[in-house]
Structure 1
Amino acid sequence: MDGSIAVLAGQIVSMFLIMAVGFILVRSKLVDDHGVSQLSNVVMYVANPAAIVVSFIRPFDYTELANGLWSIAISLLVLVVTSVLAQIAFRKKNVVSQAAVIFSNSGFIGIPLVQSVLGIDYVFYLSMVLVAYNIYVWTYGVYLVSGDKKQASLTSALKNPVVISVCVGLVIYLTQLALPDMVVTAITDIANLNTGLAMLVLGAMLAGADIRSLLRDRKLYKASLLRLVVAPLVTIALLCAFGFLPVNVRLVTLIAYAAPTGVIVAMFADKFGKDYRYAAGVVSVSTLLSLLTMPPIMALALALF
């Protein structure tokens, strides 16, 4: 147990060091906002999808597939329960805070963290978690922040690069399609870029936030506490009810929902005319605080699972 937590803590520290490099690149003006946006697109549309597809290049196993389907169901359950929790905590007066509590950075941070701590094979289960997450984001999440049911679209969810990558991966997995070695090597090499690029982008985004002024906002601390401590504890409680699943499969779901507030919350706030500054602040501060919260949360889970 201690060894697993040491690996997790060490990996989180390493990821934050890479974030520091991204922060320095922006502050030293070696990379500008346009460059950050382009790097973000590379992560979202190339590196993340590659990591997902690679995780599906494996021998077919019915138990594995069943566990993956359970991961989808548990993910939806966690999201619904967390949504109720967020609504109780903030009511209707602050939809951005509600979204900040519900939607973690499960892809941007979850994929590289699972990839590094548990191995590329377990990205398979995280991919299943992300299917439920992305459908929920682009339906309920859009409705929550916009306040307009017409804005919510299942079509947008299904067009998400994560969902498309999972569909491609499932075709490969279910048909046991044999890809040429050179293709597998190329996809794997791109997947290996994922952790570094994702952390560079997060660090660069932090460089653009006025953290000093944001630290005076009490709502930010409340949202961060709920996102980083309460929501993961609720997730652990729910996962304890699924003791028939392997420990590492449950840990994948926990990593996804113990992660800080997702960048998508700031994107939605900007798109739908909400408080983008506050949303970006929650993303930034919760990301920094996750360095302190994730190791003990995982230690508790390992003790209970």
Structure 2
Amino acid sequence: MITLQLLQQIVVFFLMMACGFLVVKRGLIDAKSSRMLSVICIYIIMPCVMINAFQIEYSKSIRDGFLLAVAAAVLIHIFLLVFVRIIGKPLKLSVLEKASIIYSNSGNLVIPMVTVVLGEKWVIYASAFLSVQMILMWTHGESLMEAKAGVNWKKILCNINLIAIIIGIILFFARIRLPVVIGNTMSQISATLGPVCMIMLGMTMTEVNWKEIFSHSRIYLITALKMIVTPLFVLLLLKYSPLASMVKDGQTILLISLMAVITPSATTVVQLAQLYDEEPVYASTINVMTTIVSIVTMPLMVMLYLA
């Protein structure tokens, strides 16, 4: 049932992307207008999603589930870092390819998927994965792309989405509920995350050189590693570990962690590639290709996990 719902939602997302693609192709708006949607998504919608996720009734089971989701996210990222380090030399992976395999588009895809497929009350567990990845992205990920050691603590601590997660956690553990008007505002803004992100992605795809995507010699290797090989390892790790038995609804919580891993390559990697001039066109190519194949691989991985 969940697999079918996920497949249906992925198709819905692709149709939303098609809407963004068509309005640009018809000349109604410019592709560069996607930056405006990106700003709205990052600075308005995502913070509302994060805070709203924690606006649920405090209970021991939810607290334990959130801690399990954090532990699973840490474990998954440790595995990904070690795995990429092992295969990096024999496969001659570039820094861009390593980052593309490690980091997923969990923010833009998983939260709206979890909301639709499982319900709003489960988003809190998706935010656990996102918070762990966000910290790693702006420490390990950025230093990898910049080819420079060190941590940019300012970028981490000033990241609006991380701030929103911290606020949400404080409100949750302090058992503080926002006033109804503010809560309803955040809830309704949060509901726009999926459509806005997908339309924005569709708009950016109009600038993609499709011939270059399918003719790039290494794109198939990186796509296979990102969308099939690493998800299978993580699937086995989560499915056969004792983690699920530790808390109530442990299997579903770990499913959300798996859903975060099996999403396409992170759009943030493309942004970092542009910033540090680290093959930005190739970065976009990986992002698009992994997005295309996700319509098949994501439901398949969920089906295998639930089997």
TM range (shorter): over 0.9
Any idea what SS the aligned residue of 1:107 has? Answer: helix
Show CA shifts across 1:229-278 (max 9, x none).
11211211221211214221011101110000010111111111210000
| Contact kept in structure 2, 1:97 and 1:219, CA below 8 Å | no
The C-alpha deviation readout for 1:174-215, integer Å capped at 9, x for no partner, is 222232211111111101111110111111122211121121
Structure 1 gaps, min length 5: none
The answer to which of 283-292 and 67-76 deviates more is: 67-76
Q: Which residue of 2 aligns with 1:283?
A: 287
Deviation at 1:52, TM superposition (A): 1.8
Larger deviation, residues 285-294 vs 178-187: 178-187
Equivalent residue, structure 2, for 1:232: 231
Task: Give, in whole Å, the separation in 2 of the partners of 1:135 and 1:87.
Answer: 19
* Cα deviation digits, residues 262-305 of structure 1 (max 9, x gap): 101111111112100000000011101101110110000111xx
The residue type equivalent to 1:107 in the other structure is: G
Instruction: Describe how 1:1-305 pairs up with structure 2 within 5 A.
Output: 3-91=1-89, 93-150=93-150, 152-240=151-239, 241=241, 242-244=243-245, 245=247, 246-303=250-307
Q: Cα offset for 1:118?
A: 1.1
In the TM superposition, residue 19 of structure 1 has moved relative to its aligned partner by 0.7
Aligned partners of 1:18, 1:93: CA distance in 2, in Å?
33
Matches of 1:182 and 1:243, distance apart in 2: 37
Partner letter of residue 67 of structure 1?
A: G
Task: Name the CA distance, whole Å, in 2 between partners of 1:80 and 1:20.
Answer: 36
Q: Work out whether residues 118 and 248 of structure 1, in 8 Å CA contact, stay in contact via their aligned partners in 2.
A: no
Amino acid across the alignment from 1:243 = A
- 8 Å contact 1:101–1:223 — kept in the other structure? yes
For the structure 1 residues 215 and 90, does the alpha-carbon distance in structure 2 shift closer, same or farther, using more than 3 Å as the test?
A: farther
- TM-superposition CA deviations, 1:138-157 (whole Å, max 9, x none): 1111111111014x323322
Identical residues among aligned pairs (%) = 26
Provide the C-alpha distance between the structure 1 equivalents of 2:269 and 2:225, rounded to a whole number of angstroms: 15
Name the TM-score, length of structure 2 as normaliser: 0.93
Q: Per-residue CA shift, 1:73-129, capped at 9, x if unaligned?
A: 221221121122223333365111111100110101111111111111111011111
Distance 2:84 2:31 in 1: 32
- Structure 1 stretches (4+) deviating beyond 4 angstroms? none
Question: CA contact under 8 A between 2:31 and 2:206: conserved in structure 1?
Answer: no
State the one-letter code of the partner of 1:282.
I
The Cα offsets for residues 145-174 of structure 1, whole Å up to 9 and x where unpaired, read as 111014x32332232222111111112212
Query: RMSD of the alignment, in Å?
Result: 1.4
**Is the deviation greater in 210-219 or in 121-130?**
210-219
**What is the CA distance between 1:51 and its match in structure 2?**
1.6
Kindly provide the amino acid, as one letter, of the partner of residue 46 in structure 1.
I
Between the two proteins, the alignment pairs up a number of residues equal to 300
**For 1:79 and 1:32, how far apart are their aligned partners in 2?**
37
Aligned residue identity for 1:149:
A
Query: Which sits farther off after the overlay, 125-134 or 207-216?
Result: 207-216
CA distance in 2, matches of 1:228, 1:65: 31
Q: Which runs of 5+ in 2 are unaligned?
A: none
Question: What is the DSSP-based 3-state SS (H/G/I as helix, E as strand, rest coil) of the residue aligned with 1:291?
Answer: helix
Normalising by the residue count of structure 1, what TM-score does the alignment of the two structures yield? 0.94
